[in-house]
Structure 1
């Protein structure tokens, strides 16, 4: 049985993608309903009818970002065999996305807090949870590396995960400020070398 009522008259996926890019560039607070209707090509009543509210639209946009723009980095982290190589692959996949000229620079989940959402505690908590999920993924991959023998037994996986997450967030901000892919590659090269040895040495001292 077909859907009852009047058809939407617009492509929901395309509209959501346009909203995602707008939020990505301007943040939640910096994006008005007027901006959204202009970018999505639909009137505000249709936005409310289809997506519920501006906040719900933002949450859906973040989920779309994670499922599309964030997917290559997560797959690189999970599927690259050696732990160090997996971290490097994850950082490089993110660097590719952060500096892609076809999309806004940086990471939507990191930059959304910088560009706005501080006035909405629920939304801020939502973004913190998304970032914590990435931190947990890095931590789990490092622990797997220790179990597999990729990393020394004394490696402080928790400290390293926080370090790599901090580097990742810094890369996102640098890209927003104009850092090139080559600039981010330099950061990655500096990042991958000594932190594992330093972490193990700290525990032994």
Structure 2
């Protein structure tokens, strides 16, 4: 990652703003603070974010560090991660993000999260254990391929052991006093 000015600061600002608005909406949704109209608006906003990111990927490839800087690259990852209603887009974004990682233009942890999210959304076991289901009874790991070697795969992409990651999610939920407010939500562990 470089500290140089990104090539597209205009795009960086847009990605950051969209991701921040998306995060605020998700927080309200998780706390059951949205009515039916707002839920529809939320889905529409997610669709619009996916459409914008699709355009960016078509024009500029993955918006990595060099193009938009670290904060906006993280924002792009967050938008792709939450494009759950468009599995083909998520698969394409995962491929482009993987290339950016190979070019040292993005974080491998972001790729691992998006790869897992794509697998889970397509009904397959995840590879790195980044996706959990949060219910009123607690945090459960979505199905994982070869659970016995999960920690080795997590280590290979710079993630903490699964027990520590799940405990961090549980602590965060307990601190927020929101465990009773969840129906069923798939979350991505913070990288």
Report the TM-score when normalising by structure 1: 0.28
**Bigger proportion of residues as helix:** 1
Which structure has the higher relative contact order (CA within 8 Å, separation 6+)? 1
Work out which of the two has the higher radius of gyration on C-alpha atoms and give 1 or 2: 1
